[in-house]
């Protein structure tokens, strides 16, 4: 069965981490990716034949932490303009190349999705661990993965003369709800 992402009922979060002498005073910003979509195919009779594709707009990142409006605006600006260069690299795309799954219980599968992540003009192989749950015409996938910014030619930024920097590794987590094709889906802008 083919499923399409319902972005209005899903979330995708990127967590960055500060380092350096002033890191105790800095932010470890959490950013939500607001504009994303995708589709997947899964047949319980042939779970390892599954596939997935996701596309996210890099410019849709917004800070979700409690902080001053000034800090929020600056982190979003620096992330979009200096870190991700969204005017040059508008989309991030993941395409699966293989799926390995293990049935945990009725309608629940532990899955490992391998594929290519294209980010900032660079494609790299990536493995994602997730729990997939099927109920009626809905598929929910929950999981996370880490990536290193430098693997995608992204230079971690520093401020205050290098006293506060972002670590090279970013943690991404997701809770994606997809509905069977033909079901009513709320698309993200």
Mean pLDDT of the chain: 87
Q: Supply the pLDDT for residue 103.
A: 92
| Residue 186 included in any domain | no
Give me the domain span that covers residue 115.
2-180
Residue 153's CATH number: 2.40.128.110
- Number of domains, the chain: 1
Q: Supply the pLDDT for residue 185.
A: 42
| Residue 138 included in any domain | yes
User: Using one digit for the tens of pLDDT, what is the confidence trace for 67-88?
Assistant: 788 878 888 888 899 889 999 9
| Residue 18 included in any domain | yes
| Residue 82 included in any domain | yes
Could you give the percent of the chain with pLDDT greater than 70?
88
Which band of pLDDT confidence, cut at 50, 70 and 90, is reported for residue 96? Answer: very high
Q: What is the pTM of this model?
A: 0.85
d(CA 112, CA 57): 24
| Residue 185 included in any domain | no
| Residue 78 included in any domain | yes
Tokens 């506060």 sit at which residue? 164
Which band of pLDDT confidence, cut at 50, 70 and 90, is reported for residue 95? Answer: very high
User: Using one digit for the tens of pLDDT, what is the confidence trace for 9-65?
Assistant: 999 999 988 776 545 555 678 899 999 999 999 887 888 889 999 999 999 999 898
Q: Supply the pLDDT for residue 71.
A: 79
Which band of pLDDT confidence, cut at 50, 70 and 90, is reported for residue 184? Answer: very low
User: Using one digit for the tens of pLDDT, what is the confidence trace for 123-157?
Assistant: 999 999 999 999 989 999 999 999 999 999 998 77
Rounded to 5°, the CA angle 21-24-30 comes to: 115
Which residues neighbour 74 within 8 Å (Cβ) at sequence distance 6 or greater?
A: none
| Residue 21 included in any domain | yes
């Amino acid at each position: 069965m083919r499923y399409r992402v319902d972005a209005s009922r899903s979330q995708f979060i990127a967590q960055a981490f500060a380092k350096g002498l002033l890191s105790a005073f800095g932010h470890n910003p959490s950013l939500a990716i607001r504009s994303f979509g995708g589709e997947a195919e899964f047949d319980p009779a042939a779970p390892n034949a599954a596939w997935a594709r996701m596309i996210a707009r890099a410019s849709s990142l917004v800070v979700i932490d409690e902080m001053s409006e000034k800090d929020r605006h600056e982190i979003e600006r620096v992330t979009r303009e200096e870190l991700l260069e969204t005017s040059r690299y508008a989309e991030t795309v993941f395409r699966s190349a293989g799926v390995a799954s293990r049935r945990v219980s009725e309608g629940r599968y532990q899955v490992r999705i391998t594929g290519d992540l294209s980010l900032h003009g660079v494609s790299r192989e990536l493995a994602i661990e997730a729990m997939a749950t099927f109920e009626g015409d809905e598929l929910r996938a929950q999981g996370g993965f880490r990536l290193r910014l430098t693997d995608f030619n992204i230079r971690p930024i520093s401020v205050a003369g290098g006293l506060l920097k972002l670590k090279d590794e970013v943690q991404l987590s997701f809770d994606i709800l997809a509905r069977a094709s033909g079901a009513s889906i709320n698309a993200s802008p």
